[in-house]
Homo-oligomer: A and B are copies of this chain.
Amino acid sequence: MKKKRQKIEGRKPVDVALKSSEKVLKSRNKTVGQQAGSLIHIGEKLIERPLITVYLYDGMGVESRTLKDLGECRSLRQSGRVLWLNIDGLHDTSLIEKAGDIFGIEPLTLEDILHTGQRPKVEDFDRYLYLVLQMLEFSGEPGGMSREQLSIVVGEGFVLTFQEKSGDMFDPLRQRIGSVLSKPRKHGADYLVYALCDAVVDHYLSTLEEIENTIDRLEGELMDNYNSTVFGSIYTLKRELIILRKSVWPLREAIGRITRDDFAVIGDEVELYFRDVYDHVIMVIDTIEVFRDIVTGMHETWLAAVNNRMNEVMKFLTMIATIFMPLSFIAGVYGMNFRYMPELAWRWGYFAVLGVMAITFTGIIWFYRSRKWY
Q: Which residues of A contact B (CB under 8 A)?
A: 5, 8, 11-18, 20, 23-25, 27-29, 31-37, 108, 118-119, 121, 169-173, 176, 182-184, 194-195, 198-199, 202-203, 205-206, 208-209, 212, 216, 219, 222-225, 227, 231, 235, 238-239, 242-243, 246, 249-250, 272-273, 276, 279, 282-283, 286-287, 290-291, 293-294, 297, 299-318, 320-322, 324-329, 331-341, 343-350, 353-354, 357, 370-373
Contacts and interface: CB of A to CB of B under 8 A. Distances in A.
How many copies of this chain are found per oligomer?
5
Nearest to A334: B336
Given A24-B291, A27-B209, 14 more contacts: A12-B371, A16-B222, A24-B212, A25-B212, A28-B206, A32-B202, A34-B172, A35-B184, A37-B183, A242-B293, A310-B310, A310-B311, A328-B332, A340-B346
B353 A349 contact: no
Contacts of A173: 33, 35
Given A308-B227, A318-B313, A318-B314, A371 B11 contact: yes
A169 B33 contact: yes
A145 to B, nearest CB: 14
Contacts of A216: 20
Contacts of A235: 297, 300-301
Dominant secondary structure of chain A at its interface with chain B: helix
Contacts of A34: 172
A16 B322 CA distance: 26
Given A172-B34, A195-B35, A209-B28, A309 B310 contact: no
Nearest to A206: B32
B329 A279 contact: no
Contacts of A13: 312
Contact of A337 (B194, B336, B340): B336
A27 B348 CA distance: 71
Q: Which 3 A-B pairs have the closest CB atoms?
A: A33-B172, A331-B332, A334-B336
Contacts of A300: 235, 299
